[in-house]
Amino acid sequence: MIVSLLFGLLPNIYSGYYVNLITTVCSICKIRFYITQSSTMTYRWFLTIACIDRYAQSHIAYRVVICVTIIWIVLPIHNLIYRITSGGQCTWLERRRKNNQSQIEDESVRILQVRDYQAIAMLFSILPQHYHG
């Protein structure tokens, strides 16, 4: 938890007096979010494992701690790959094709309209015409 506080709080304090390195240097942006997420989630899982181990009195926490540490070192790697600094912000890299974007939006709008109709039909107990036997 202390590691998460250090990497989450100190850069914000530093940016109050000097240039914000998180929004200007891409590698610092990536490393900060990776370490913050990794340490925070490891802390949460360790706390949960400690509670379960205490309740169960099985003392398997030693082995589980090693597994959880490995898992939370590997899982947030996407922060190292897809984080970028753009427009003065540390944000996600978006990889979308503009040609398919309109098709995706049309499909999502159609799905929402069908869901809305289904919700109204269930609410008022109205069956659609194509469901009548």
Q: 13-26 burial, b for 16+ CB within 10 Å, e for fewer?
A: eeeeeeebbbbeee
How do the domains of the chain map onto residue ranges? 2-94, 96-133
Q: Which pLDDT score is estimated for 71?
A: 94
**pLDDT tens per residue, the chain (133 residues)?**
677 777 777 777 777 788 877 778 888 888 888 998 999 899 999 988 888 887 777 777 788 889 999 999 999 998 888 888 887 788 888 765 555 555 556 666 677 666 666 667 666 665 555 554 4
Q: Which pLDDT score is estimated for 133?
A: 44
